[in-house]
Amino acid sequence: MEEIIIHGGHRLEGTVMIDGAKNAILPIMAASLLATSGVTEIEDVPILADVFTMTSVLESLAAQVGFDQTQQKLQIDASGSLTHEAPFELVSQMRASIIVLGPLLARLGVAKVAMPGGCAIGSRPIDLHLKGLRQLGARITQNGGYIEARATKLIGADIYLDFPSVGATENIMLAATLAEGTTFIENAAREPEIVDLAIMLSEMGAHISGAGTETIKIVGVKSLHGTSHQVVQDRIEAGTMMVAAAITHGKVLIKNAIGHHNRPLISKLTEMGVTITERDDGILVEGPTHLRPVNVKTLPHPGFPTDLQPQMTVAQLMADGVSVMNETVFENRFMHMNELRRMNADFEIEGNTLLLHGKADLRGAQVEATDLRAAAALVLAGLVAEGETRVGQLQYLDRGYYLLHQKLSRLGADIRRSDVDENGEERPILNAL
Ligand code: EPZ
């Protein structure tokens, strides 16, 4: 089994580059299905398991996809005729595949996508996706574990989202680009990845305004064409590195990091005593010898991102005193805490509220990831734990981080990734995928 093996206690110092955002590239790849002419070229593509899965989904729909990993470039040609069914075995691997529903429906008038399952962090319903598509005129049925959507023509509508769902906002936005008339999405998600998707769609010829605010306006057009687009930097990877610098009393420059994409984290780390300097070339993070406790509540953007919650709980454990973490977005996102308890963390969970007792005397242990951001949190805990930490189930980590161990090693961490057999024999792994 592959493991990341860490010996804690090393201060991080130096400069780290951040890849393109996982949560931007996936909807952007789905958007390429809307181009009936030309080729879509995407740069700064992160080399992640989810990108390979989405590539397979697009190819199963008969799009032509070329992924130049050394250049981190994707070329997608969807100008030919597409099929309309996304297969179960791919959607079950990655629930985000549901994002092809909107573009297929808009382009072909029909779409059949396997119903995505839940995952470790929650049941992950898609009722808001379907509500929006129905309001655009789609007839949607569910049978045999598949969602079938049909529409002779999509008509613009005023759609209110009960919750500012990222996926629902994206699916509706994608479908509305080719609808007849104007669509308003009220209480829309405001994440930077929504803005990046809207920029790409506008480059393809769509008429979109208001992305990044709670109201997005889309005026339908007849067709969209290919374009070239550079993926926005991954604010969650950048935030993960900021926490790594903060807890190791380090001094790390997060190259080209965008301050306003991580305003909540920067504010909270500053409250804890971390020195954060926003410069032209990125964000410099200097961790103090002592961290102050801080209370955090996750919220949709521009609130504190749920995708940085597990990582932040490690910083709170390292603070001198009691901190509170309140997770309001997902119903089961404290799974990493069971593993942190095995590293001697002391905390109580009351529903979606976590009471964390710092300063923790974390001890290295064999731990297992349960989901993507939990995996990152366990690696961070290993950086500051006494002794050796071994993190397993790295398939979760590979969904959202590329060569995290290498990036941390270059900053001074004692960390490696190895394939460990039943006798404990190690074979070093240099490349994760
Ligand atoms: C996106 O998931 C991200 N994934 C998640 O990142 C992220 O945590 C989440 O947005 C919130 O920011 C991608 O972009 C691929 P939501 P998504 O729809 O779209 C409820 C990571 O670690 N909801 O905003 O699925 C839902 O149950 C991953 O990178 C409905 O009730 O998130 C949840 O409680 C994890 N009905 C809340 O909204 C719906 O129809 C947020 O979900 C849709 C969602």
Question: What are the pLDDT digits (tens) for 100-126?
Answer: 999 999 999 999 999 887 777 888 899
Question: What are the pLDDT digits (tens) for 258-291?
Answer: 999 999 999 999 999 999 999 999 999 999 999 9
Residue nearest to atom 6 of ligand 1 (CA): 307
Question: Residues of the chain whose pLDDT is less than 50?
Answer: none
Report, as residue numbers or ranges, the catalytic residues.
Answer: 119
Q: What's residue 217's pLDDT?
A: 98
Please list every protein residue whose CB sits less than 6 Å from any atom of ligand 1.
22-23, 26, 96, 122, 124-129, 163, 165-168, 189, 306-307, 329-330, 372-373, 400
Tell me how far the alpha carbon of residue 150 lies from the centroid of ligand 1, in angstroms.
24
Tell me how far the alpha carbon of residue 82 lies from the centroid of ligand 1, in angstroms.
27
- Give the mutation target among 25, 128, 166, 261 for probing the ligand 1 site: most ligand atoms within 8 A of CB: 166
Tell me how far the alpha carbon of residue 166 lies from the centroid of ligand 1, in angstroms.
6
Nearest Cα to Cα of residue 189 among 217, 165, 221: 165
Written as six digits, the tokens of 213 are 């605010």
Contact 208, 172 (CB under 8 A): no
Q: What's residue 433's pLDDT?
A: 59
Q: What's residue 123's pLDDT?
A: 81
Give the nearest ligand 1 atom to 306 CA.
Answer: 8
Q: What's residue 53's pLDDT?
A: 95
Beta strands in 156-300 (DSSP E): 158-160, 182-186, 207-209, 215-219, 224-225, 228-230, 251-255, 275-279, 282-286, 296-297
CA distance 388 to 369: 16
Give the nearest ligand 1 atom to 50 CA.
Answer: 15
pTM: 0.97
3-state SS class at 224: strand
CA distance 196 to 24: 7
Q: What's residue 432's pLDDT?
A: 55
